[in-house]
Structure 1
Amino acid sequence: MKKRCVGSTALEITEVSFGGAAVGGLYRACPREAAMQTLQVAWDTGLRYFDTAPFYGFGLSERRFGDFLRDKPRDSYVLSTKVGRLFRPVPEDQVPDHSYVDPLPFALDYDYSYDGIMRSVEFSYARLGLNRIDILFVHDIGVYTHGVEKTKLHFRQLMDGGLKALEQLKSSKVISAYGLGVNEVQICLD
């Protein structure tokens, strides 16, 4: 499968990636066995770029990616996840509905600050059970998710501290790259 370089980094990703929302139960349940089989088919096809997020199944996708990738040679794939949401445990009847079926029992808080990003990365490492995350994307920071006023607040958090956290993680080689993982153009232009 063809690969491309990621910006000015040494990372090379396959032109087709495996996004983890479905194995986190987006729109319909995805039993663990089906998730593992699907990931294996992607691997056997030659996909070597895997993208997940804490939001996908409220941690479920990261856990499944980690379980699948743990026995693969670490330099044979690229893994990205996202920051911007932190989770807190809640009773199962209080799990918010964000189109995920059978998510893990958490509610979310948005946090794009220095501390929020550092905590998010730490929690992602724990869920993944892997020793390296290659790329971090700042997830869903924009009007589509937050509305105009809250986007201003979150963008200020990112500029006032979150960006410093990302730079620090990159310079200390905890990650190789970072960017935005959004569903809209305007925030990229801002």
Structure 2
Amino acid sequence: MKDRTVLNENHKLAFGCSGIAGLYRQVSELEAETVLQAAWDLGIRHFDTAPHYGHGSAEHRLGRFLRGRSGWVLSTKVGRLLAPDLSPPAVANGFHSALPFSQRFDFSYDGIMRSVEDSFQRLGLNRIDIAYVHDIGDPDAGTNTHAHFQQLLDGGARALEELKSSDVIGSVGLGVNTVEVCERLIGKMPIDLILLAGRYTLLDQSAEVRLFERLRAHKIQLVIGGVYNSGILATGPVAGANYDYAPATPDILARVREIETICHKHDTALATVAIQFPSRSDVVASTLIGTAKVRSLERNVAQFNETVPDELWSALKGAGVIGATK
């Protein structure tokens, strides 16, 4: 058995492919290819996708782009199965460039095996480096039930272990939005990485408080998505700003205003600090960004690579914004 896929310095910044599947707006094949090429030209070699993204269109588009190239690391997700839909909606789960399929959750042994096989077909590639169990234990998705967890623990986890031991996939992970599900599953199944959205940011450091020591003990790498908490840490406390996919409350607006003031005192943009914050931890192996716009991608990469003065991080710690709960 080959060693598991381990993210290193070359993978500190990852490109998430939900945007190229038309999340929130229609995205053409040409637009998708253009932004993927821009990511490649900017040195990004770590790409993340999922069957959920456009009912397979993100996997299809990413696979076509990566075919014939080398040196990349690819993660996709398991737990959802797609089936042809004769009457597909114009917009599927927020994706405007979706393929004509429907989806259902299946975390069973057979479901995981089929999910991986289907992803290989859509990608048109012969390698999947990381397979994340997608959205298990998510109350919004309806997967926080005993039945879903039993499917995974009674069969799905075994399927993933077999796929890894036979070199079909490189590593096994969780792709989730809550700390709670990580706490529940660490130690119950083999986990090499966790892709966690929105729980280690300037506004929410619950992952650090509740998970970091367990991650170190189990040698689990962490990939952080949602660094802007769905918008407000990029836009600042403007009218209509969103926090965790809902309008920001007055308390959140006030907290962001305080953080932004500290950043401005050190001549640094809030978004720059937000995108760099997770990577300062030894537990975080990669920071995930996603967009279908080249200009946004270029801005994100520039901000990730910008030099932030140590005094700014010290000021944020002194104000209790970061590190206060250690």
Give the TM-score taking structure 1 as reference length: 0.89
Is the alpha carbon distance of 1:167 and 1:22 closer, same or farther for their aligned partners in structure 2, counting shifts above 3 Å?
Answer: same
Tell me the equivalent position of 1:122.
Answer: 117
Tell me the equivalent position of 2:228.
Answer: none
User: Larger C-alpha radius of gyration, 1 or 2?
Assistant: 2
Which amino acid letter does the alignment assign opposite residue 27 of structure 1?
Answer: Y
Q: Displacement, 1:179?
A: 0.8
Tell me the equivalent position of 2:145.
Answer: 151
Indicate the RMSD between aligned Cα atoms, in angstroms.
1.6
- Are 2:94 and 1:113 aligned? no
How far does the alpha carbon of each residue in 1:105-132 deviate from its partner, in whole angstroms, 9 at most, with x for none?
A: 1111100000000000000000000010
Q: Displacement, 1:176?
A: 1.1
- Are 2:128 and 1:133 aligned? yes
Paired residue secondary structure (1:144): coil
Tell me the equivalent position of 2:171.
Answer: 177
Tell me the equivalent position of 1:66.
Answer: 63
Is the alpha carbon distance of 1:28 and 1:180 closer, same or farther for their aligned partners in structure 2, counting shifts above 3 Å?
Answer: same
Higher RCO by CA contacts (8 Å cutoff, separation 6 or greater): 1
- Are 2:81 and 1:86 aligned? yes
User: Which residue, out of 161, 166, 169, partners 2:160?
Assistant: 166
User: Which residue, out of 72, 84, 87, partners 1:77?
Assistant: 72
**Structure 2 unpaired stretches of 5+:** 185-326
Tell me the equivalent position of 1:39.
Answer: 36
Tell me the equivalent position of 1:3.
Answer: none
Is the alpha carbon distance of 1:93 and 1:11 closer, same or farther for their aligned partners in structure 2, counting shifts above 3 Å?
Answer: closer
Paired residue secondary structure (2:27): coil
Separation (CA, whole Å) in 2 of partners of 1:162 and 1:59: 21
**Count of residue pairs brought into register by the alignment:** 180
Matches within 5 A, 1:12-31: 12-13=7-8, 14-31=11-28
**Structure 1 unpaired stretches of 5+:** 1-7
Paired residue secondary structure (1:86): strand
Separation (CA, whole Å) in 2 of partners of 1:33 and 1:180: 31
Separation (CA, whole Å) in 1 of partners of 2:21 and 2:105: 19
**Contact 2:5/2:171 (CA < 8 Å) preserved in 1?**
no
**Contact 2:92/2:98 (CA < 8 Å) preserved in 1?**
no
Question: Identity, % of aligned pairs?
Answer: 51
Is the alpha carbon distance of 1:67 and 1:10 closer, same or farther for their aligned partners in structure 2, counting shifts above 3 Å?
Answer: closer
